Structure 1
Amino acid sequence: MGDQPETMRAVLLTGHGGYDQLSYRTDVPVPKPGPHDVLVRVEAAGVNNTDINTRIGWYSKGDGDPDDAGWGGSALELPRIQGADIAGHIVSVGANVDPGRAGERVLVEPCLRELHGETVQNFAYVGSECDGGFAEYAVVPARHAHSIKTDLSDVELASFPCSYSTAENMLTRARVTSSDRVLVTGASGGVGSATIQLARARGAEVIAVTSRSKAEGLRALGAMETIGRETRPTEILGHDAVDVVVDLVGGAHWPDLLDLMRPSGRYAVAGAIGGHTVPLDLRTLYLKDLSFFGCTGLEPEVFSNLVRIIETGAIRPLVAATYPLRDIVSAQRAFSEKSHTGKIVLDVAGSG
């Protein structure tokens, strides 16, 4: 694929804290792939909650210096290039990778089971345990760079990996089928809007919890009904009204979600933007035979299934806004305002 430059543009996370910890640089060395890796020229990279949570040390359960602030429960190696969503092209490969893969258009699976040629004990995450896509080039394990054939743009493709794989993983873990009625909280965000589309693709009926201003857009995505996020769901739907809850919020109304589920209901969670500490009445859990699924590491089949769904055109990308790489702070500010539906994406190749 020709000679690669020695340096690249990238955003470095230099520590935990505010936006001042993000440093846009033009002199970062281009990484070199290890024997089991590929070097990807990043065309576009999505912005996610995990980028902000990692920056502020939200994953740490300790006090003081966050020595457990990575996804894997250990300290982050700084400086770190964040960015879990990577769409791009393979430009070179490691010694143990088929050289024919050079030139492939790829979508990168962000949840890694392999890193530096070794199996990860639990899992690692792109942009946390290794450098990610907020740069012109990124090294990723070859097995996690999935070839994709589609007419979608790079920016559109970059809206998929983190949000849609998280959504598909929760639906897979909760065993959602066409006979299920599913409630989705935080439904207008990247994961929530992805869940609506992917649950509908399975034939399930979807109820979305969102703000009034975003309700019409979510119904257009496939939600059969919407509920205001300031409302307790049982006030609208009653008790024992849904089979599955896909929760991204937590927060004050969380106990209501358990009352909402039918006996033998399934609850899947992959976020807590409304508050991570909630009261649990164990009697509700065991008397209703509920099943709880905490969802971070992807089931082995999830990402390859997602790629196939994208290639069929059964789901569509939702890109709310694009920013050049150098405007990472503006992109994260816009993301944190939560006034958008879908994804905010950095157009890395078009950044100039």
Structure 2
Amino acid sequence: MNNLGNFLTLSTFGESHGIAYGGIITNFPAGIEINFEEIQHQLDRRKPGQSSIVTQRKESDTVQFLSGTFEGKSTGTPIGFVIYNENQKSKDYEHIAAAYRPSHADFTYDQKFGIRDYRGGGKSSARETINWVAAGALAKHILPSTIEIHAYVSSVGDIFCMKPYQDLDFSKIESNDVRCPDEETAEKMISKIKEIKKEGNTIGGTITCVIKNLPIGIGEPVFLKLQAELAKAMLNINAAKGFEYGSGFCGATMTGKEHNDLFNEDFTTKTNLSGGIQGGISNGMDVYFRVAFKPIATILRPQESVDKDGNLVIVEGKGRHDPCVLPRAVPVVENLAAFVLADLFLMNQIRKI
């Protein structure tokens, strides 16, 4: 399945070392003025080579829109876009043509399809997320301008941003390479990533996302609950290992008296342990969630593994890889969230017709 969304849909194509990535978006409303510069800006936030703590692959990641727009506005027909690959080094992967990298998709792809593109992981490459950022940045145009979506790195390894999101200045997210708005914590995170990189190793962590000013009523009662659609999107991100919203797993340790969000007279709540969602539907409070990411599987150190025939081999990563996925995953989380919200927002409008 290469489709995202229910009413507003994205169908994607492309591989890491193929000619290009791209997608087709259907059911995008007509007559919406498109800010193409902002879409490119979001892609620039995701692209490689931004700093010393991410992969040094050099890609402009320039998006070209092929259909569905005219004179700067959407026409209501399918919107096609393409992003050409420019800086592949396929020779870096020839040594694993017949070997399986530990914790990668090599083995499962081979078993499922009987063939795999070993160059950069093919379709399993995180470069696929470029399509999602482009689509999400476009989908933001559907949402009311009052809605704010802010994602930031909230932990790297055992280094946590201890401040609640209400005490953070989201305007500082882009002020450092790791995209953590708490400057003191950001410095520690960057030092940790650089240390790990020198060892030829990788490290994981978490990204927190906050959605402000979301109208009441977004999300469906049963199988299209807002939290479920967000979780589905986030857990499709490469290296994502967990999702929690509101009180998350901590809520499992509380009693109902402690956990219930009591109402104020204006229908806001005194607390927001529900994470802005009740019964699968937004209640007007901030929606907030956290996504956990594992350490990237490709490490520049020798590891024992097996080849296609079951022979023991030594596999060592080569080439250019992220020591930590988190800084470049921040715009992926934000724009995927935007796509989910736009999809549910349109469904909500249809329901009211």
Is the structural similarity TM-score above 0.5?
no
Could you say which structure has the larger radius of gyration? 2
Larger RCO: 1 or 2 (CA < 8 Å, sep 6+):
2
Larger helix fraction of residues: 2
Q: Return the TM-score normalized by structure 2.
A: 0.24
When the two structures are superposed, what TM-score results if normalisation uses the length of structure 1? 0.24
